Chain A
Amino acid sequence: MEEASAQQQSSAFPAPPFYFQRLSKLPFPVLALEPPPPVQSGKYWQFGRPFDTQETLATLEQQGCQQLYPKGPIDRVKELKKLNHSAIFNFLELVHTLTTTPGEHYKRVDEIRMIFINMHHILNEYRPHQARETLRLMMQNQLQTKKQETEALKRTCADLRSKLSALRALKEQRQRSLATINSSTVAPGDSDVEMTSSPDHQTQDSKASLVGASSSGYPGAENHIDANSRRTMDRLMTMVDSIE
């Protein structure tokens, strides 16, 4: 400890917190080194002031003020109106006492003060209810947006799937027509390999080979295949646009 204080006097840096003393004896008391657990219930003290773990609005008696409205469940609107009227009435009486016996004004002033404190207290009792209501409304909104989004996503997915399957059916059709064309014409060797290997590929590859076959020069079927591939391309582009 003397080292620490000497260091503080000679250097500009503060000493380390004195927890280092706990590490000075071996074996290290590990459990004692754990930070204290957070307070679960009741009162706790922080920086010299008391705090509650459960925040509740203190009643008027606890705050040291007289409660002017009756205890228990009350009609808030009626009580507030009554307090409003008595505030004005007391102000009138205050003005009267100021004109007659100014020395006695403090009684009226205290009355008015009590009335205002009561009014504010009634309003403060609304606040927790309002907070929970707001939370409930926010959660309902969130739920609704989520459901809407899920619906929209599902609809677009179903749309796309139907379009994809339609395209695949179209492709199968083209494949079959190409196969018949292939068997009816005498084609050069390598294009034969190209066409016979295509049914083994994935459906996307066969789509691609469709397009490839159009430019490899099949005489009679060329224009027919070209138009179909162009339509396929158009449909696929619109599909991708609708996803994005």
Chain B
Amino acid sequence: MDRLTQLQDAIDKLALLFVSSLDHLSKNAPLVALNPDVPVVTTEHGMPKEILQASAQELALDISRQAKELETLIENLPPITQTPEEQTLDLELLAQENDRATEEYEAAVLEAKKLLQEVTQALREIAMDQSNT
């Protein structure tokens, strides 16, 4: 796939990872007592601490992996070698050459058609005379 689109998709993926990791952590965090006098009553909210820490580790790994991928993609970008004016000049020259090549091609096609006519004529006459005799 096109390198620029890949880069853009990788950037978007990184942003998505940021959002989803924060989301996951804040949604699944267990309850904590704000005041030592008010203890935590329910333990049914969110995931236990160990599992959450393991998933946080995984998310951090994902983010760093994505950032590394982004860096390799950036390195593989092709450089800009020509200014827009140079490019338009190139395109104009190519367009002129293309026109010339089309003219030559059409002339060759015309000649081939004429030749084909001659040959079919010859064959037809031979076949006719053979059928006559």
Residue B32 is within 8 A (CB to CB) of chain A in the complex: no
Question: Does any Cβ of A come within 8 Å of B34's Cβ?
Answer: no
Q: Across the interface, do A240 and B91 meet the contact criterion of CB distance under 8 Å? A: no
Question: CB distance B112 to A130 under 8 Å?
Answer: no
The answer to whether A132 touches B87, judged by C-beta atoms less than 8 angstroms apart, is: yes
Q: Write the nearest CB–CB distance from A238 to chain B, whole angstroms.
A: 11
Distance in angstroms between the alpha carbons of A133 and B128 in the assembled complex = 58
A84 in contact with B119 (CB, 8 Å): no
Q: CA separation between A127 and B2, bound complex, in Å?
A: 11
The interface centre, meaning the residue of B80, B90, B126 with most chain A CB atoms within 10 A of its CB, is: B126
Interface contact A236-B11, CB-CB below 8 Å? no
The answer, yes or no, to whether B22 is at the interface (CB within 8 Å) is yes
Contact A120 B102 (CB under 8 A): no
Do the beta carbons of B125 and A208 come within 8 Å of each other? yes
Given contacts A204-B122, A236-B119, A243-B115, contact A119 B97 (CB under 8 A): no
Whether, in the assembled complex, A95 has its beta carbon less than 8 Å from a beta carbon of chain B, the answer is yes
**A147: nearest residue on chain B (CB-CB)?**
B101
The yes or no answer to B67 lying at the interface (CB within 8 A) is yes
Contact B71 A146 (CB under 8 A): no
Contact with B along A115-140 (1 / 0, CB 8 A): 01001100100111110110110011
Dominant secondary structure of chain A at its interface with chain B: helix
B residues within 8 A CB of A135? Answer: 91
Q: Is the CB of A211 within 8 A of B130?
A: yes
- Knowing A81-B71, A132-B84, A211-B133, say if A153 contacts B112 (CB, 8 Å): yes
Per the bound structure, the CA–CA distance linking A144 and B86 in Å amounts to 22
Q: Which residue of the partner chain, among A98, A127, A143, A153, contacts B22 with CB atoms under 8 Å?
A: A98
* A71 CB, nearest partner CB in chain B, Å: 17
Q: What's the minimum C-beta distance from A190 to chain B, rounded to whole angstroms? A: 13
Instruction: Flag if B71 contacts A126 (CB, 8 Å).
Output: no
What 0/1 pattern do residues 108 to 133 of B give for CB contact below 8 A with A? 11011001101111110110111011
Interchain CA distance A147-B15 in the complex, whole Å: 49
Instruction: Out of B74, B87, B115, B123, name the residue touching A81 (CB < 8 Å).
Output: B74
Q: Is the CB of B98 within 8 A of A126?
A: no
Pairs of residues from A and B, 10 with the lowest C-beta to C-beta distance, nearest first: A208-B129, A153-B108, A215-B133, A132-B87, A146-B101, A139-B94, A208-B125, A80-B74, A204-B122, A150-B105
- Contacts A123-B8, A132-B88, A211-B126 known; 18 new A-B pairs at CB < 8 A: A76-B80, A81-B74, A84-B70, A116-B11, A126-B77, A129-B84, A132-B84, A143-B94, A143-B97, A143-B98, A146-B101, A157-B112, A161-B115, A204-B125, A204-B126, A207-B122, A208-B125, A236-B119
